[in-house]
Chains A and B, each alone.
Chain A
Amino acid sequence: AQSVTQLDSHVSVSEGTPVLLRCNYSSSYSPSLFWYVQHPNKGLQLLLKYTSAATLVKGINGFEAEFKKSETSFHLTKPSAHMSDAAEYFCVVSSNFGNEKLTFGTGTRLTIIP
């Protein structure tokens, strides 16, 4: 069984300040973890993924996430927010044990204040 919890449904930050979107996961097996972004009226875009290699993962648009097994967390960060970062972000877990199904978190809406 696997699940993912996004701890904040909404996050607001000022432009130029750091972004932190929190995600905790549960998985019976070694997990793969993903962050997807969904801009308004657009499809889902993969930001980054953790696949049991380096625990600090760098993605597109300056985002990165750190896999912490002891804390079962995979928080998404960005040093400086840009107006174009305003979107819905989904943390996703999948099992590495032959299960291709993705389990989505409930999403975090990121608002950027000018």
Chain B
Amino acid sequence: SAVISQKPSRDICQRGTSLTIQCQVDSQVTMMFWYRQQPGQSLTLIATANQGSEATYESGFVIDKFPISRPNLTFSTLTVSNMSPEDSSIYLCSVESASYYNEQFFGPGTRLTVL
């Protein structure tokens, strides 16, 4: 399994500001994923990030609001832009397993509170 770290682990932000979340993996992976988990809810996929190409966003998520970078095979960032209280969620990154393509390993998450 991959070891995944995220920074920050939590943050409290003001409305209208932006926050960039970092995801670091201990091995090279082709695909990385970003999820949102709203309070008391399940996980929703925001986008899929492949190295060397633009991220693919799911319905309801747009690049202007959630820009993603994927500069290399071990790192990705997700920015939550122009935040509102509705963006208060846990944001998780995940990576595909090297041994089974449908299996994913998750980072510990970033707990974001927007005031």
Contacts and interface: CB of A to CB of B under 8 A. Distances in A.
Nearest to A33: B102
A90 interface: yes
Interface in A43-81: 43-46, 49, 51
Interface in B55-77: none
Nearest to B104: A102
Contacts of B104: 102
**How big is chain B's contact interface, by range?**
20 to 34
Nearest to A6: B42
Interface in A90-112: 90, 94-96, 100-102, 104-107
Interface in B31-48: 31, 41-45, 48
A51 B102 contact: yes
Interface residues of A, number: 22
A90 B92 contact: no
A101 B59 CA distance: 13
B7 to A, nearest CB: 14
A43 B84 CA distance: 24
Contacts of A46: 1, 103, 105
13 contacts: A32-B100, A32-B102, A34-B103, A44-B43, A90-B42, A90-B43, A94-B102, A100-B48, A100-B101, A104-B42, A106-B41, A106-B42, A107-B42
Given A34-B103, A44-B106, A102-B45, 9 more contacts: A32-B102, A43-B106, A43-B107, A44-B43, A46-B1, A94-B102, A100-B31, A104-B43, A105-B42
Interface of A: 32, 34, 36, 41-46, 49, 51, 90, 94-96, 100-102, 104-107
